[in-house]
Amino acid sequence: MMLTQLADGFGLVTAGMLMLFGLYATVSTRGAAFRFFPAVFRQLRRGEPSDRTVSPFRAFATSLAGTIGVGNMTGVGIAVALGGAGAVFWMWISAFLCMTVKYFEIYLALRVQPREETHYGIAPMVYVRNGLESKGYAALFAFFGICSALTMGSMIQTKAAADAARDAINLPQPLLPLIFAGCLGVFLTGGLRRITGALERILPFLGGAFLLIGVLVIALRGGAVIPAFRRIFTEAFSVRSASGGFVGSGVALAFRHGVGNGLFSHEAGLGSAGLAHGACGADPKTQGLWGIFEVFFDTIVVSTVSALMILTTDTEDPLAAAEAVLGPVGKGLVALCLILFAFLALLSWSCYGETCFVWLCGKSSAKVFRWLYLLSPVAVLVASETTLWASAEILNGSMMILNLTALTAYREDLKSVRHLKL
């Protein structure tokens, strides 16, 4: 209980911090993310060959795979349950403000990444160390990154996938974590190149499949769409929560869970974008465009589809929504999407965790982390779900505090973004 209360308080503070920095970044750059939007779509069509371990597009796929999935599906359901429909509104505001944040994270990462390091994206540790003038803070950021990889990146993803498999096809709870561990071993033995290659090939098709199912559910519940939007806007500013409580609690809960799930989902401000993109060797000002698209697609598109599925069917999550409209087949398809999304997130966060681990312990320690990460899906069998979510929120928030504090030291670099022409 104490850990959950700590996470709640921590979550409200970090949500406010993220929104303030997002607003500052957006104003300082004169709305760079919105001005750059036409260039984002040009970037989507541009191919950039690379002989590095992580190409520009693979870096994007790795980063997006770490965001799309449990946060968009299970996370949105939890946010709506705890913060009401108004949480979706604050999730949108968070995304619009944080597009600039993620652009700058990638832009800065590629500017400070050591030229000789072409394998691991160690840039976030570099700019935390330089910005805060302390290797200790950089080491702390890396430590929190490792812990986040093991909890949010692995155990929470595995738990959500195991629950979906149990509900949809009656798969025994222990089986999926063991399957995940076995499949993870195949990819980890191939290193970063095999992992990023798989993410590059699978993610676009999987994302498209989920959106098709979601749009179909919403279309078949078309009469409930306008009332759902009305709830989102009215409950965002409700002075009382749905269950009662003190005046203003409704707004506080909607804000805290909307922005909190936004951070869990799009990861802007967390520092993970630099871990994914840092070593790709691309032009900083154009590679940052992928960050804008990641936040927009992850939250404004995918999370909104999930939210509307839930609100138009008055159910608890996209699985239940699909079952209510499409029957067991619909539920099974959404469960399959969630399971595959969760596994792709495991792969993505294995890259982040390994990068942080080798920065702390040296490249010779990579195999040690891979064995540790390989065991993490199985550890979920003895872990409390409540403890996992609370721990992940505290660890993510700790990463974010260090990351955003370091980014403020690069204020002049941030302001220079306003002059970029794309």
Whole-number Å distance between alpha carbons of 175 and 373: 18
Whole-number Å distance between alpha carbons of 352 and 347: 9
Whole-number Å distance between alpha carbons of 107 and 33: 12
Give Cα 370 to chain centroid, integer Å.
21
Which residues are CB-contacts of 306 (< 8 A; sequence separation ≥ 6)? Answer: 72, 73, 76, 77, 214, 318
Domain layout of the chain by residue ranges:
8-411
> Dihedral sign, CA of 129, 292, 228, 168?
negative
> Dihedral sign, CA of 127, 140, 277, 411?
negative
CATH superfamily of domain region 8-411: Amino acid/polyamine transporter I (1.20.1740.10)
Instruction: Give the global pTM.
Output: 0.91
Give Cα 52 to chain centroid, integer Å.
24
**pLDDT by residue, tens only, the chain of 422 residues:** 677 778 777 777 888 899 999 999 999 999 999 999 899 888 877 655 555 556 677 777 777 877 777 778 888 888 888 888 999 999 999 999 999 999 999 999 999 999 888 889 999 999 999 999 999 999 999 999 999 999 988 999 999 999 999 998 888 888 999 999 998 888 888 766 777 777 777 888 888 899 999 999 999 999 999 999 999 999 888 755 444 443 344 677 787 777 877 777 888 999 999 998 988 888 999 999 999 999 999 999 999 999 999 999 999 999 999 999 999 999 999 999 999 999 988 988 999 999 999 999 999 999 999 999 999 999 988 888 888 888 888 998 899 999 999 999 999 999 999 988 88
